[in-house]
Amino acid sequence: MKPLMLAAAMGLISASAVAVADPPKDGAVELKSGLYFWKQKTEIVGFGSKEDNTECLIPQKASTTLSRLVDDLQKGCGVENVVQTSKGYNFRMVCGSKSKVPGKAEAVLEHTDTSMTITAKGSATVMGFIPAGFSVRADTKYVGECSQEQLEHATASYYRKHPEEKPR
């Protein structure tokens, strides 16, 4: 998901002083719409889950924020300490008490307009009180155009989740 080039911390130099802008609180990500193969692996203290699927990425979802993307990966999670890099973003993934597994992880998102990789490593709280290490890796790659049926299904699903965005 290609970023829409948010300003990272930038120095403004004048004759008498140097001013630095605040770093971004979020990042913007954009992919080419179409059919993507998605692969995700999550491990917590030796246990884990894997998910492989193909998803039709509609134009409405092709542009998103880093925080919305992280929440899609794991409900109840957000981002902080976002730093734009030449390939994407470095950030901290923060999963609060509403998340399935509360915790924090240092994360990296790298992308092109047809691929994306997210890696994160950190610590979580399991069963409400047990600290545990965890890691996540998610990869997605463009594999072609969506069929008309896939496009219609993905669009209907999107507007069920986001009725406020449905055109009238």
pLDDT per position as a tens digit, 26-45: 898 999 999 999 999 988 87
Find the mean pLDDT for residues 72-77: 81
Give which of 146, 115, 141, 117 is closest to 34, Cα–Cα: 146
pLDDT of residue 24: 63
Beta carbons of 107 and 120 less than 8 angstroms apart: yes
Q: What is the pLDDT of residue 130?
A: 80
Residue 3 within a domain: no
According to the model, what pLDDT value does residue 136 have? 87
Higher-confidence residue: 144 or 11? 144
Distance CA 2, CA 74 (A): 21
What's the pLDDT at 129?
79
Inside any domain, residue 160: yes
pLDDT-based confidence at residue 19 (cuts at 50, 70, 90): very low
Q: What is the pLDDT of residue 1?
A: 30
In a domain? residue 22: yes
Does 109 map to a domain? yes
Please check the confidence at residue 104 and state whether its pLDDT lies above 90.
yes
pLDDT of 167 over the 90 cut = no
Average pLDDT value for the chain: 81
Question: Is 5 inside any structural domain?
Answer: no
The pLDDT assigned to 166 comes to: 84
Domain count, the chain: 1
Segments forming the whole domain that contains residue 38: 11-165
Domain assignment of residue 1, yes or no:
no
Examine residue 123 and state whether it is found in any structural domain, yes or no.
Answer: yes
Greater confidence (76 vs 127) lies with 76
Task: Please give the DSSP secondary-structure letter assigned to residue 164.
Answer: G
- The answer as to whether 77 is a domain residue is yes
User: What is the predicted pLDDT for the residue at 55?
Assistant: 94
Backbone torsion region of residue 85, taken as left when φ is above 0, otherwise alpha when ψ lies between -120 and 50, otherwise beta:
beta
